[in-house]
Structure 1
């Protein structure tokens, strides 16, 4: 049986693979981490990530491209600003996934996402 900390590590490692200027969804991260159906766990893991890991949590969004924090909140504004610094267009706290979503190729999946 896989413990929670092992699952969190897989999630953190997967999020760290999202390239600069791209985003992924909670469900996509769960799938790539080998935890299908665990999108909510991804959110929980990101909230518990140790600061020294420097996990790029701001690159993870809802399945519709929306920032998960309430619009206009300081957390939503921080995430929006971090994405804008990476030249990711954020309009009304939403990102166009057709343009900015990370689509890892086979090499990335075999090499970067090895657990």
Structure 2
């Protein structure tokens, strides 16, 4: 059994660190072009956040309804759409992707055909300082 670590402010991420991580994510997501998709994990990597796919999902779920960020272009690494099709937000994601010309079959997009590959490192956001663990969001 794992022992619990007692509360310490040293274990809490600094507010500016969280803000910087969000900004890196938003800046990278804003660059995903229409008709292309990116996985949660690859988006995290491009944003300089290391292995933070689940964190990306949590942050995207908190976006305001009127956001202009292309959240609908973020899917699972195997091409699966993670939002349930029988929910309003899932239906919206599917409608937006179809409007951009993507075909959805069996709740999946052909990720090999539609995956976003930025031209080069010009798209990548600077990595976080080395003091941050890349696998811990």
Fold similarity call, TM over 0.5 = yes
1:96 counterpart (110, 121, 125): 110
Q: Which blocks of at least 5 consecutive residues in structure 1 are unaligned? A: none
Query: Of Structure 1 and Structure 2, which has the larger fraction of its residues in helix?
Result: 1
Unmatched segments (≥5 aa) in structure 2: 1-13, 127-137
Shift, 1:90, TM fit: 1.1
Aligned match of 2:93: 79
Task: Please give the per-residue CA displacement for 1:35-75, whole angstroms capped at 9, x wherever unaligned.
Answer: 11100111112122345651100000011111111233222
Q: C-alpha separation between the residues in 2 aligned to 1:11 and 1:104?
A: 15
Verify the 8 A CA contact 1:24 1:101 in the aligned structure 2.
yes
**Normalized against structure 2, the TM-score is what?**
0.74
Instruction: Report 1:1-115 matches (<5 A).
Output: 3-50=17-64, 53-106=67-120, 109-110=121-122, 112-115=123-126
Determine which structure has more spread, i.e. the larger CA radius of gyration. 2
SS in 2 for 1:4: helix
Number of aligned residue pairs: 112
Q: Could you say what the CA RMSD is over the residues aligned between the two structures, in angstroms?
A: 1.8
Please, what TM-score do these two structures have when normalized by structure 1? 0.87
Q: Distance in 1 between matches of 2:25 and 2:85?
A: 25
